[in-house]
Structure formats: structure tokens, C-alpha cells
Amino acid sequence: MAKYHGKSKRTKTGGRRKPKRKKRKSELGREFLEPKIGEETKKKLRTMGGNGKTRLLRTNKVNLTDPDSGETEKIDIENVVENEANPHYVRRNIITKGAIIETEKGKAKVKNRPGQEGTVNAVLINE
């Protein structure tokens, strides 16, 4: 079900706000498509103004940046180790911004929003 992202009918103190206009389609949000680990699949969406957005549904690759050398390379994702957004995302291997993922080179933190941008970019964590 779509989520309304416009202003509430109530103020934060509980008072009633008088609406100046009706709800608009542009104020509706979309469902969260969970980017998981698997064979890479993407979905293209039409956004406001006729523009496009690529949603990532599944991926097994990450653009991993080493902060010491500054080099970036594409390597495999093994699994999700930790996710602050929701602890249940770890066992379902859902990748969101801020998630800690296990790669061939070690643990890495996801620095972008894969469901919005269509790729997974991460920075290697030095432990």
C-alpha cells in the first residue's frame, strides 16, 4: 500500500490543521523493495517529470573502496553481518545504507541507498 508523505492533519502538539488543498499523487511514496543477495536483477521506474530511477532487487557484487589506497574494485558479497535499520534484515540478507556486509577482502559498510541508486557502494572497514 502506498504511503502518504504530505503533512499530517494534526500539528505536533495535537491541534487540528485546516487543509488548504486535496492530497496530490506526487505526495505518495512507494513500497520498499528489499535489495537482497543473489543474481543481479534491477527494475526501472518512471519518476516525477518523466525521469527514471533504477531500483536494485538482487545483487551479488559491490563496488568496494579501500580508504587507505583509494582504489575501488567490484567484488562479490558473501552475506550481511549487521544492519542498523532492522535486525531482521540480517538473516534475510537485505542490504540497506549503513549495513555491514562480508566480502572477500573483509567487512565493509554500505555508503549508498541501493534501492534508490541501483548499485551497492561500500567502504572497507579496518579492524
- CATH code for the domain of 56: 3.10.290.70
Q: By residue range, what is the domain housing residue 109?
A: 36-124
Residue 2: per-residue pLDDT: 79
| Calpha distance 126→62 (Å, rounded) | 17
Residue 126: per-residue pLDDT: 81
In a domain, 5, yes or no: no
Q: How many domains does the chain have?
A: 1
In a domain, 53, yes or no: yes
Mean pLDDT of 18-29: 90
In a domain, 26, yes or no: no
Residue 31: per-residue pLDDT: 87
In a domain, 40, yes or no: yes
In a domain, 25, yes or no: no
| Calpha distance 47→108 (Å, rounded) | 31
pLDDT confidence bin for 32, thresholds 50/70/90: confident
In a domain, 44, yes or no: yes
Burial of 4 (0-12, 13-18, 19+ CB in 10 A): exposed
In a domain, 17, yes or no: no
Q: Is pLDDT of 45 > 80? A: yes
Task: List all residues 6 or more positions away from 59 whose beta carbon is below 8 Å from its beta carbon.
Answer: 35, 37, 38, 40, 77, 95, 114, 119, 120
| Cα of 33 vs its chain's centroid, Å | 9
| Calpha distance 52→116 (Å, rounded) | 11
Nearest to 55 by CA among 65, 40, 76: 40
pLDDT in tens, 63-122: 999 999 999 999 999 999 999 999 999 999 999 999 999 999 999 999 999 988 999 999
Residue 26: per-residue pLDDT: 86
In a domain, 15, yes or no: no
